[in-house]
Structure 1
Amino acid sequence: MKIIASYSNKGGVGKTACAVNLAYSLAQSGHRVLLCDLDPQGASGFYFRVRPSRGLTGKRFFTRAERISDAIRGSDFDNLDILPANMNFRDFDVFLSRMKRSQSRLGKALRGVREEYDCVVLDCPPNISTLSEAVFRAADAIVVPVIPTTLSERTFAQLLEFFKDHGLEKRKIRAFFSMAQGTKKLHGETMRRMRKDHAKRFLDVTIPASTDVEKMGVHRAPVGSFAPSHDAAKAYMTLSREVVKSL
């Protein structure tokens, strides 16, 4: 079982859209996928019309594997199940900070489902925290959407610096450009510069700015399910192939 985290230390970059569409694309390719929503806002579950997981607290998540299994829900798509979040997840950092070997707890909790799934996709909260570090340790790949702007470039540099300072494996990072607009000069310049400066970190795929991604909230479904021939859907499918290939 491979663990793939959709993560960014900056909000509003398409992190949840990445998690939802990556999980969907992997499932469409025949992989057995669990989308695990770690963000207490529960956006991933919302997109799949799955209600929040009542009663799943930090204690139950990190110490009782059967509770995770009980909270998993099926989706409307073959090979794809959802572990929805709830507002109790906002206390994950507090709970982990009190546990011994907190950095390894997430990986240990997810081992309980390793026989049922080929891939677990994590939709992570947009911050650097105790939970984030547990994600960095547990994940086989950390997929990072980056909008080609100055602030996103800065936060990506901060993420790399955090990995360096804490002895984390930068090779796990698979960044890609998100919400890119070819007509914007700044976007083009930023993408060229960052690909040159971080050649080993960036995948080839670029997710274009698209109204189809915005319409996910209306359809409450992945882009590929309602606009499969459009550019954004094709780009997410390419993203899934590149991530699998890199693993």
Structure 2
Amino acid sequence: MKIFAIYSSKGGVGKTAGAVNLSYSAAQCGHRVLLCDLDAQGAASFYFRVRPGKKFNGKKLLQGGLKKFIRASDYERLDLLPAHFSFRNLDLVLAKLEEERRRLALQKLFKPLADEYDVLIMDCPPNLTLLSENIILAADSVVTPVIPTTLSLVALKQLLKLFRKVGAKEKRINAYFSMVEPRKVMHRDMIAQYEQYAIFRKVQIPYLAEVEKMGLHRQPVAAVSPASIAAKQYTSLWLEIWNRSIGG
């Protein structure tokens, strides 16, 4: 099982859109996929119309035995571990664990799922916390959307700093430009300056109405508009990230 974390310390960069659409693309490519919604806001869960069970919360998440909390989506080969509002306190729960377990709690939780799924994708909250360290250490690949603006690039530099702090290898980062508007000079200039760096993937996600309308349809873009540019770009992005992950 390959684990992918859709993560950035900055909000509003397209993390949840990425998690939802990449999960759908992976399932459409034939993989057995589990999307774990770790953001207390539960946007990914909202898009897939899935609610957590009444007995599920942040403490139960970290206790393990996740299979009983997983829910099927409306799409073949795609399941969801829904978010719970109590996830906002996950850092407090992690801090109470023994020191040697604190940063590896998620890694331990996901191991029993390895025979059930080919791909596990985490939709992550925009934090720089103990949970963030857990996410990085549990993931085979950290997929980070970057809007071609100054603050989004600052968030990318924070991610690189966090990778160094926990001793993770930077080659596990898959950055991609998100919400790109080619008519904007800043976007064109930023992309031209940074796209040659090894952590950036070639595929870019444009700023398009189809992605904005996900909140209305509560479905992945490709489920509503399979022939749209947005759907094709997310599929291409998934294939680029997946092929890189299996290529070492």
TM-score, shorter chain, exceeding 0.5: yes
User: What is the 5 A alignment of 1:95-244?
Assistant: 95-100=93-98, 101-196=101-196, 199-244=197-242
SS in 1 for 2:50: coil
Contact 1:53 1:86 in 2 (8 A): no
In the superposition, the TM-score normalised over structure 2's length comes to 0.95
Q: Name the CA distance, whole Å, in 1 between partners of 2:82 and 2:166.
A: 30
SS in 2 for 1:18: helix
Percent identity between the two aligned chains = 47
Q: Name the CA distance, whole Å, in 2 between partners of 1:93 and 1:54.
A: 22
Return 130-139 or 150-159, whichever deviates more.
150-159
Higher strand share: 1
What code does the residue aligned with 2:16 have?
T
SS in 1 for 2:178: strand
Corresponding residue number in structure 2 for 1:64: 64
Residues 1:39 and 2:39 aligned together? yes
- Report the alpha carbon displacement of residue 63 of structure 1 after superposing the two structures with TM: 2.2
Contact 1:14 1:178 in 2 (8 A): yes
SS in 2 for 1:207: coil
SS in 2 for 1:180: coil
Unaligned runs of 5+ in 2: none
Corresponding residue number in structure 2 for 1:88: 86
Q: Name the CA distance, whole Å, in 2 between partners of 1:64 and 1:121.
A: 17
Q: Name the CA distance, whole Å, in 2 between partners of 1:177 and 1:104.
A: 29
What code does the residue aligned with 1:85 have?
A
Corresponding residue number in structure 1 for 2:18: 18
Residues 1:5 and 2:1 aligned together? no
Q: Name the CA distance, whole Å, in 2 between partners of 1:53 and 1:184.
A: 44
SS in 2 for 1:95: helix
Give structure 1 regions of 4+ aligned residues with deviation exceeding 4 angstroms: none
Aligned length: 243
CA RMSD of superposed structures (Å): 1.1
Q: Name the CA distance, whole Å, in 2 between partners of 1:166 and 1:70.
A: 31
Return 179-188 or 51-60, whichever deviates more.
51-60
Contact 2:133 2:162 in 1 (8 A): no
SS in 1 for 2:90: helix
Q: Name the CA distance, whole Å, in 1 between partners of 2:182 and 2:163.
A: 31
